[in-house]
Structure 1
């Protein structure tokens, strides 16, 4: 009887372990094709990210309220991802103030943060304000709006997880209560699922 009970517990543990790696999408937003300039003055496109899951956020360098904490929190998430030994991922930040945020400005902004593997980061610019407003709405179902007569830009404070096929599958609080462990586990699950399919 004890042996049967022990076998049951082992099976339950195995099943629990399997189910914990199963990723369930909350969104199904197709990211529209783009080709923008990153903070290293390189061209980054949706195609160049194909096959790589990525975390997206909307920020701008003149923001003195939510953007510095969001960027700092993303650095913490990045550190956690690196500690897990995950290699295939990117962090993509779309500037919502592209007229001001040149590649040089974005590069300088990023230099203030303690990032060990900066090659994983792509801070993007090189488009019109109206284009980013449309892109954010069509690709991420979120609002980007420049306030008239002001430097301020209204934007979401979420992080978005985009899978290897360019589909937004989940979003998280990027400002106050960051679910770092959940983000890392979701990223691992996406990569494991892709590996099983290949």
Structure 2
């Protein structure tokens, strides 16, 4: 009798897990329209909001001389990409806006990427080619994100979030990108948005 009860509990447990896997509900938490932009990526190619439309994308704000959160954020994004590949998610982009555009030329950004174990560099767009003042206001208006040059150091103050942008250029969610990155949730959300 004990064995039958235990088996019944196991069957119910496994069934509930399988049922929950197929019924993931994406819940948008934000609704911010990304302002139109035309920037240059690490390959000296033009990237616009329009060229990114049609696929969801993950955005972040980083800079190459960062000595705090940018290296872990970039590495963590490589882990997110590995999980996306493992889950067969293909139609997406990863977009990083430099917040130190005077230093971060396309060549510098290209070298920066080489330091990370990136599974598919074709999905990555590291953007530059604008003024510091521009990226500060763009981050605020398009992502509700704080970016501010620190006049006392060579560092730039910024948030360590990842932003999920849908195929229409609307920010619908954000996640911690530096610590406790919810990789499984990001992958599940991306899967929903790529369908």
TM-score norm. by structure 1 comes to 0.88
1:71 aligns with 2:74: yes
Shift of 1:12: 7.7
Pairing 1:19–2:26 present: no
Residue 88 of structure 1: aligned partner: 91
Q: Shift of residue 83 of structure 1?
A: 1.1
Structure 2 partner of 1:196: none
> What is the match of residue 158 of structure 2?
155
Partner of 2:102: 99
Give the structure 2 partner of residue 146 of structure 1. Answer: 149
Give the structure 2 partner of residue 188 of structure 1: 191
Q: Please give the per-residue CA displacement for 1:141-186, whole angstroms capped at 9, x wherever unaligned.
A: 0111001142110111000000000000000000010100000000
Please tell me whether the aligned partners of residues 92 and 194 of structure 2 are also in contact (alpha carbons under 8 angstroms). no
Q: Is 2:44 the partner of 1:41?
A: yes
Assess, with a 3 A threshold, how the Cα gap between structure 1 residues 13 and 113 changes in structure 2: closer, same or farther. closer
Q: Secondary structure at the match of 1:19?
A: coil
Query: Where do 5+ consecutive residues of structure 1 fail to align?
Result: 1-8, 193-198
Alignment-derived partner of residue 136 in structure 2: 133
Q: Helix, strand or coil for the counterpart of 2:47?
A: strand
Question: How many angstroms apart in 1 are the aligned matches of 2:68 and 2:17?
Answer: 45
Q: Cα 1:114–1:12, aligned 2, differ >3 Å: closer, same or farther?
A: closer
1:112 aligns with 2:115: yes
User: What's the counterpart of residue 169 of structure 2?
Assistant: 166
CA RMSD, 1 decimal: 1.6
Q: Structure 1: how far apart are the matches of 2:45 and 2:142?
A: 22
Q: Deviations over 1:101-125 (max 9, x none)?
A: 0000000000011112100000000
CA distance in 2, matches of 1:69, 1:40: 23
User: Helix, strand or coil for the counterpart of 2:97?
Assistant: strand
Count of residues in correspondence between the two structures:
182
Structure 2 residue 126 is the aligned partner of structure 1 residue 123: yes
**Equivalents in 2 of 1:79, 1:15: separation in Å?**
25
Q: TM-score, normalised by structure 2?
A: 0.89
Give distance in 2, aligned partners of 1:108 and 1:167: 30
